[in-house]
Amino acid sequence: MKLRYMVEYALRGRIREPRYEPVGVWVQGPGPGLDLVIEFLPGNTEARKEAEWIVNRLVENDVRTFPDDFLAYHQASLSPYRSMRGPVFEADEYPSAARPAPAPSSIVSR
């Protein structure tokens, strides 16, 4: 099964030593429907709420499937002064988007 995924990063240490740290992963499956899993490491409530808002907006607008560029669109939607989303990768080593192996935390650490 071919999955697309991207890692989300948060800007930390903005004043003295700015750096991006991985905080979560977005995984888009081949479908059907809204085949998407978004997971965050503990302590990243703001990023999690923003992702939940995106998913809720899709459901409210009765979106049934994702376009192929869904992750790329959301990659470009963040301000680099707050956070960023890394490049979109494709992988076929995971059994499904709902249960990627390894765990999202190990994908984030790549």
Q: Who wins on pLDDT, 95 or 43?
A: 43
C-alpha dist (Å) from residue 65 to 54, 83, 87: 14, 26, 21
Q: What share of the chain in percent tops pLDDT 70?
A: 83
Cα 3 from Cα 96, distance rounded (Å)? 8
Structural domain count, the chain: 1
pLDDT of 90 > 90? The answer is no
Other Cβ atoms less than 10 A from the Cβ of 21: the count is 13
List the domain range (segments joined by +) for residue 54. Answer: 3-108
99 pLDDT tier (thresholds 50, 70, 90): low
For residue 101, the surrounding DSSP H or E stretch is none
Q: What is the mean pLDDT of residues 92-110?
A: 58
pTM: 0.79
Cα 58 from Cα 23, distance rounded (Å)? 23
Q: Where are the alpha helices (DSSP H) in 1-110?
A: 45-60, 70-75, 104-108
Contacts of 82 (CB under 8 A, 6+ apart): 10, 11
Other Cβ atoms less than 10 A from the Cβ of 46: the count is 13
pLDDT of 101 > 50? The answer is no
pLDDT of 22 > 90? The answer is yes
